[in-house]
Structure 1
Amino acid sequence: MMNTRTILAGASAMAMLAVPAHADEGMWTFDAFPAAKMQAKYGWAPDAAWLKHVQNSAVRLTGGCSASFVSGEGLILTNHHCVRECAQDLSDASHDYIANGFVADDRTAERKCPGQQAEVVTSITDVTPVVQAAEKGLSGSALVKAIDAATAKIEKDNCPDTVTTRCQVVTLFGGAQYKLYKYHKYSDVRLVWAPSGQAAAFGGDPDNFNYPRYGLDAAFLRAYVDGKPAVTPQHLKWDARGPQDGEITMVAGNPGSTDRLYTKAQRIFARDDLYPFYLTLLSEYRGRLISKMEDDPQRERTGTDALFGTENSFKALSGYVGSLRDPKFAAKLNKAQEQLRAKVAADPTLAKKVGDPWSQIADAENSARDLYQQYMLLEPLAGFQSTLYGYARTIVRAAEERQKPDADRLPGYNDAALPLMEKRLMDSKPVYPWLEKMDIEFWLTKVREYMTADSPVTKAMLGKQSPEQIADALVNGTKLADPAYRKKLFEGGLAAVKASDDPMIRYVLAHDQAARDIRQDYIAKVVGPIAAAEPKLADARFGVYGDTLYPDATFTLRLSYGTVKGWDEKGKPVPFETYYGGMFDRATGNPPFNLPKAFIAHKADIDMKTPLDFVTTNDIIGGNSGSPVIAKDGSVIGAAFDGNIHMLGGNFGYDPVLNRTVVVSTAAVQEALEHIYPAPRLLKELNGK
């Protein structure tokens, strides 16, 4: 499965972004889609009206996924694993929506997903001159601060209405371009229909990032406005059919991040330092989680989403490492860089303009080796996955940052970002004390292990207590599980926070300065130098290859084109589609290849020849989960939910021979709505009856 919760093996890549894109490569921005190039290859390309309609129908979910409107009443198609957290949050001891699925019989039964927001791009504006003017002549921390300040001002000035709009300045080509994306947002998003988790992820971790697949990884949400279903006249037409071999497919979604612009030094640092660090953490955390869940039905229920995400992240990250350790893959990437450098050196004017950003980045990565573990543990991984610790840090930092001018605040605490922050903070969702304690004690154990017991920071954070003792005290004593208490502290500002006797709040207050210090050091020595060098790399690429490039993924709206097509694996053809019957043939009766209960109960009703999943050559990455797969006529024929194992190498480069997108077909979803998890009301809505 793919989403942006993936913390970060493929086969060889045939084309890298250091050179112009070939074949079906490219996650293209809507304002720079290569229609002429596609027309030349396929004899067809979307026109402006087609692109505008799809842009207005495509949805970004703030949980890290993509989706699309498929009716005029706010109905949203996405993946099951994109609503899995919502289903978990809505479940209780008597209603397990992961195990049994969820079907809302009528609108009153549709239930709000905590923290979820749906967003649709309404405009894309080039703001490059404004940001680049603000950063001119600066370096290091000053450069990063200037960029943050400029983008915060642009976002605030262009979205005065924070109730229905959201603005986001997106950095492209490492700072060679800045684009303002303006969104219409829907802050009330409700769960409508979802199959069981086993139906969506049949085959479990062994089948993840593999193919053939037999997963019903689809779900429906609905956007609401003022308590009523949103009016969405711009939506994709539902076409419940299987794919045709070789037909053109378009994927509109929000790919999370790619590293195709990485230099050799950056790839080596990721391969040898950063990724192994993450893998070690994930491996141990997975083991602890499984141990805690064994022989405890309630922990098994409440921990299933955490285990699902951890295993998904571990497998994806393993694929990234595997691709970078592939000698042929690495050689192609390195050769592309050397070719680019040689062409720059051969042009004196361009060489003078570009300088040597490769060496600048290499120096920054050397600095990162001394800092990244402390930085990761005290900043991005603080509290690990603890919801309660996340609440505490958000409240403390928001109280401190809101006292500053908007331009001086940490990213994520600007006025433009506050509405979504408040929503996530105030929405009610369950927390599980056993899991909270495990997360915090695991985090503190890793702080002690990697930063050493002798570090002043470690000594301050642990004192004479163990990680387990601190975790118990924090989780048992905090009141942050109560939304009303969170609201009181947030609205009370710094005075209320400093006056709080909540142990979680007190703990963050006592130790947040250490995190801020390492953050600032990391920005000055790593982030700032790279931010100064990356636009020069873009100058090199544009100077050598012109404007035939696409930017790395940024979890913003992109469009890719391709065709329905299988591939050859070790000399054997892999079919482009699978069928319901294949799931029954593959079933062993034992997890993770056990048939879902509803499938067994309705076996006689299921048309076993209905296409279930299929593959295309579309170029995607994590964050594209839930993206509509669209036919030439603008109808939706599936939802992308994964890639094959070769796609993981697509983080660094695209291989048209092997990279494939894995899609659940609309035919499969309609069959489920009719016979497996019956939802006649939804069928009528989807089919316009």
Structure 2
Amino acid sequence: MPDAPFVLHGPANPGARRHTLIRRPWAAAFSRKGEGQETSMRNSQITLTAIALTLAVATAARAEEGMWTFDNFPIARANQTLGTNIDQAWLDRVRLSSVKFGGCSAGIVSGEGLVMTNNHCVATCVANLSTQAVNHAETGFAPRSREEELKCPGGTAEILTDISDVTERMHAAGEGLEGQAFTRARDAEAGRIEQETCGGDATMRCQVVSLYRGGQFKLYSYRKYTDVRLAFAPEDRAATFGGDLDNFSFPRFAIDAAFIRLYENGRPVATPTHFRWKADRPVEGTPVFVSGSPGATQRLLTQDQLMTIRDVVLPLDQLIASELRGRLIRYSEEGGRQAFEAMDPISGVENTYKRGRGRMAALVDPAFMAGRAEAEADFRSRVAADAALAARIGDPWGDLAEVQPVARELYPAMALLEGGTGMGTTSPGGGSQLFSWARTLVRAAQEREKPSAERLPEYADSRLAAVQSGLFAERPVHPSLEQLRLEWWLSKTREWLTVDDPRVRGLLGQESPEALSARLVAGTALADPAVRRALWEGGLAAVEASDDPLIRYLLSIQDETRAVRADWEARVEAPTSRASERLAAARFAAYGDSVYPDATGTLRLTYGRIEGSDVPGQRFGAFTTFAGLWDRATGAPPFDVAPKLLAAKDRIDPDTVMNMAVSSDTIGGSSGSPVVTEAGEIVGANFDSTVLSQRNAYGYDVRVNRSVIVTTAAVTAALRDVYGMERLVEELGVE
């Protein structure tokens, strides 16, 4: 290990339980039977990397590839590849210094609960704390004291403290069951495991995680913080310079960084285990590690499953997202209030849409898919060569192929009315906060009448605290925007399921999407947290007695929506899980312990080097500087420099590195991930990836995959020279 590693004086949190990372042998884990901005790219550019990229899908991971779990990280291979000298103790410190913040990642950077993430990861918090008159997105948020740090409504931060193997229990729970009985038995067992470990401890959250698509199950235990306060955010223009045109690209010139602070009992949390801030200029070629919670990859899917995503899932998601983007842009043009309300939603839908375009480009490229097919053929031939293995697992590829026609038929209704398929991004209610609250209140009231093991999994006793926290959070509600979202969802549901679908008739009755959404939003009182709390505490009796139109509406559509979910669970989810478990066992038998699981929104570690790219369509150096920012600026959006940043031009060293490219394996959800050296020094935070990296959902290629990082050098310059945040600079230990 190098000298002067992490700052370390004790456990990350006083009183936190001791972590025990169980490294269960692969053979034992599988012992039970069963188990951005995407431009138009030329075929020549895609072909260059397609075969190498897709061979990673089924074969052993190579070089920097892999979003590895912390209990199965390839220490020796990483050290050999990078020339580093990390060990298990180093991994433990990285894990205890890493934070999951909502759908993003973050890293602890001081002993007093200070955490760095991306500015776009706190955008919702900034919007919730802003008004049209005091818009922190325009001015930046730079509190002069800790007393001025403001709580993010509904914000939750978590640190992973423990991983344990529960594969045998989860597999036993579904033994001999089929269809919905199988999925409900598994869900119930997960709830029992979570409750046994975390119980009523409000400071903990437990989650049973499916890895290798059912091949393993691990219990992840987190230390949870519900008092998360915004400590600093730059002007939005500083974090989003280049706008949509520069999104998913490099060179970049963005200070996409922000700070939050963890509080408990009204005081900052003591965090003696944390990354050490390194404000020096980064060095090209330096080995680095990226620790975060990537959302989802689909590298272990079969070709037949990917065809369903290509032909059904992505087209639906992309088409309706593009219309939502158009509606939001039109809404933003109606006036200053509308522009303020739509700013954060537009950014979110643009990211989703461009990411989908990049993935579609991969799945419609013949060379890319040919490479995937070759990898699958290699996998199947290895299984076929082992007669005992082939007899034991049967034909999971064939079983999954049989599920696909059903999945294609059921997906639109499931996505639009229930969501939660794990395949796409579409969800019920169109993102309406009011609809989400009403749905939670109705579903929770109905489910809480049942024993925990018989409920929908999201309402098991072990998960109610999180549900309640989100429900009671005081968030601003913009009625016109709520109506836009609800109207859009109703209209697109009618369009995709057709006017004559009985479920559509149940949704709309005799009303139009426009009239129904207007009536529901105008009449509901759910924007008031006191009303939501009273309904929650009153239980089913209070909900059924409510005359709130949105509550009445959600009650009226439960039969239709629950039936859609039950059908999906029985005919798609259960047989897919069964076949995927057998496929996971076969994959390990064929390739050994060099296989890593798909990303699942849980903490992972990847690694690479600070380096540029030199392939057709993507040639650039490793760094950009403030001098490059001034040169790129035109004064007109989206290349207009944020006012405070521009005013500080003469105070900033123009050679300071702003952003850098790293050959690490990241994807959505990795935003905010700390980028650290073997010495435990944080040198940046991941905030994006490049055009060619968007296919990373399906495979990795070191030649083209580049994560885009905002450097600690740039963040230090912004804090010190632009926003006057000397107190944070001092807390970070910068001299």
Q: Distance in 2 between matches of 1:607 and 1:211?
A: 21
1:473 aligns with 2:519: yes
Q: Distance in 2 between matches of 1:184 and 1:334?
A: 42
- CA deviation vs aligned residue, 1:482-523 (integer Å, no higher than 9, x gap): 000000000110000001000000000000221100010011
Equivalent in 243, 249, 253 of residue 204 of structure 1: 243
Equivalent in 621, 625, 628 of residue 582 of structure 1: 628
- 1:136-155 correspondence runs (5 A): 136-155=175-194
Equivalent in 16, 21, 31 of residue 56 of structure 2: 16
Equivalent in 666, 674, 678 of residue 724 of structure 2: 678
User: Which residue identity lines up with residue 88 of structure 2 in the other structure?
Assistant: A
- Paired position in structure 2 for 1:291: 330
User: Which residue identity lines up with residue 342 of structure 1 in the other structure?
Assistant: S
Structure 1, 570-579 or 537-546: larger mean CA deviation: 570-579
SS at match of 2:288: strand
1:160 aligns with 2:219: no
Equivalent in 638, 643, 648 of residue 689 of structure 2: 643
- Paired position in structure 1 for 2:40: none
- Paired position in structure 2 for 1:29: 69
When the two chains are superposed, the root-mean-square deviation of aligned CA atoms in Å is: 1.4
User: Which residue identity lines up with residue 649 of structure 1 in the other structure?
Assistant: R
User: Which residue identity lines up with residue 646 of structure 2 in the other structure?
Assistant: I
Q: Distance in 2 between matches of 1:385 and 1:371?
A: 21
Structure 1, 570-579 or 328-337: larger mean CA deviation: 570-579
- Structure-2 change in CA distance of 1:663 and 1:14 (3 Å): same
User: Which residue identity lines up with residue 178 of structure 1 in the other structure?
Assistant: F
SS at match of 1:417: helix
User: Which residue identity lines up with residue 574 of structure 1 in the other structure?
Assistant: F
- Paired position in structure 1 for 2:475: 429
SS at match of 1:81: coil
1:96 aligns with 2:140: no
Structure 1: 4+ residue segments shifted above 4 A: none
- 1:245-256 correspondence runs (5 A): 245-256=284-295
Equivalent in 78, 81, 87 of residue 41 of structure 1: 81
Offset, 1:143 = 1.4
- 1:353-368 correspondence runs (5 A): 353-368=392-407
1:457 aligns with 2:503: yes
Equivalent in 331, 351, 354 of residue 390 of structure 2: 351
Alpha-carbon contact 2:60-2:595 (below 8 Å) kept: yes
Equivalent in 655, 662, 678 of residue 708 of structure 2: 662
5+ residue gaps, structure 1, are 3-8
Structure 1, 286-295 or 495-504: larger mean CA deviation: 286-295
1:514 aligns with 2:582: no
Equivalent in 674, 678, 681 of residue 628 of structure 1: 674
1:495 aligns with 2:495: no
- Paired position in structure 2 for 1:217: 256
- Paired position in structure 1 for 2:168: 129
Alpha-carbon contact 2:506-2:560 (below 8 Å) kept: no
Q: Distance in 2 between matches of 1:359 and 1:571?
A: 38
Equivalent in 25, 43, 68 of residue 107 of structure 2: 68
Q: Distance in 1 between matches of 2:272 and 2:655?
A: 34
Q: Distance in 1 between matches of 2:85 and 2:517?
A: 57
Q: Distance in 2 between matches of 1:122 and 1:99?
A: 37
Offset, 1:54 = 0.9
SS at match of 2:645: helix
- Paired position in structure 2 for 1:240: 279
Q: Distance in 2 between matches of 1:258 and 1:121?
A: 21
Alpha-carbon contact 1:398-1:413 (below 8 Å) kept: yes
- 1:412-423 correspondence runs (5 A): 412-423=458-469
Alpha-carbon contact 1:200-1:217 (below 8 Å) kept: yes
Offset, 1:571 = 7.8
- 1:435-446 correspondence runs (5 A): 435-446=481-492
- Structure-2 change in CA distance of 1:491 and 1:688 (3 Å): farther
Q: Distance in 1 between matches of 2:619 and 2:416?
A: 45
- Paired position in structure 1 for 2:208: 169
- CA deviation vs aligned residue, 1:399-453 (integer Å, no higher than 9, x gap): 0111111111112111111111111110101010111000111111112111221
- Paired position in structure 1 for 2:267: 228
Q: Distance in 2 between matches of 1:462 and 1:685?
A: 56
Q: Distance in 2 between matches of 1:320 and 1:589?
A: 33
User: Which residue identity lines up with residue 214 of structure 1 in the other structure?
Assistant: F
- 1:43-58 correspondence runs (5 A): 43-58=83-98
SS at match of 1:124: strand
- Paired position in structure 2 for 1:606: 652
Alpha-carbon contact 2:55-2:375 (below 8 Å) kept: no
SS at match of 2:105: strand
Q: Distance in 1 between matches of 2:689 and 2:388?
A: 42
Alpha-carbon contact 2:615-2:703 (below 8 Å) kept: no
Q: Distance in 2 between matches of 1:267 and 1:382?
A: 23
SS at match of 2:702: coil
- Paired position in structure 1 for 2:121: 82
- CA deviation vs aligned residue, 1:303-339 (integer Å, no higher than 9, x gap): 1010000000000000000011121111111110011
Alpha-carbon contact 1:17-1:549 (below 8 Å) kept: no
Q: Distance in 2 between matches of 1:307 and 1:512?
A: 30
User: Which residue identity lines up with residue 232 of structure 1 in the other structure?
Assistant: T
- Paired position in structure 2 for 1:5: none
User: Which residue identity lines up with residue 326 of structure 2 in the other structure?
Assistant: G
Offset, 1:688 = 6.9
5+ residue gaps, structure 2, are 1-35, 38-44, 420-426
Alpha-carbon contact 2:690-2:708 (below 8 Å) kept: yes
1:301 aligns with 2:340: yes
SS at match of 2:659: strand
Alpha-carbon contact 1:257-1:622 (below 8 Å) kept: yes
Equivalent in 614, 622, 634 of residue 568 of structure 1: 614
Equivalent in 393, 403, 406 of residue 449 of structure 2: 403
Alpha-carbon contact 1:15-1:655 (below 8 Å) kept: no
User: Which residue identity lines up with residue 661 of structure 2 in the other structure?
Assistant: V
Alpha-carbon contact 2:174-2:185 (below 8 Å) kept: yes
SS at match of 1:252: strand
Q: Distance in 2 between matches of 1:601 and 1:208?
A: 25
Alpha-carbon contact 1:14-1:656 (below 8 Å) kept: no
Alpha-carbon contact 2:54-2:375 (below 8 Å) kept: no
- Structure-2 change in CA distance of 1:498 and 1:572 (3 Å): closer
Offset, 1:464 = 1.7
- Structure-2 change in CA distance of 1:14 and 1:453 (3 Å): closer
- Structure-2 change in CA distance of 1:443 and 1:572 (3 Å): closer
SS at match of 2:510: coil
Alpha-carbon contact 2:257-2:710 (below 8 Å) kept: yes
Structure 1, 360-369 or 387-396: larger mean CA deviation: 360-369
- Paired position in structure 2 for 1:193: 232
SS at match of 2:490: helix
Alpha-carbon contact 1:401-1:409 (below 8 Å) kept: yes
- Paired position in structure 1 for 2:319: 280
Alpha-carbon contact 2:159-2:222 (below 8 Å) kept: yes
Q: Distance in 1 between matches of 2:532 and 2:704?
A: 49
Offset, 1:572 = 7.5
Q: Distance in 2 between matches of 1:128 and 1:460?
A: 41
- Paired position in structure 1 for 2:24: none
- Paired position in structure 2 for 1:538: 584
- CA deviation vs aligned residue, 1:137-160 (integer Å, no higher than 9, x gap): 222212111110111000000002
SS at match of 1:30: coil
SS at match of 1:72: coil
Taking only the aligned residue pairs, the percentage that are identical comes to 45
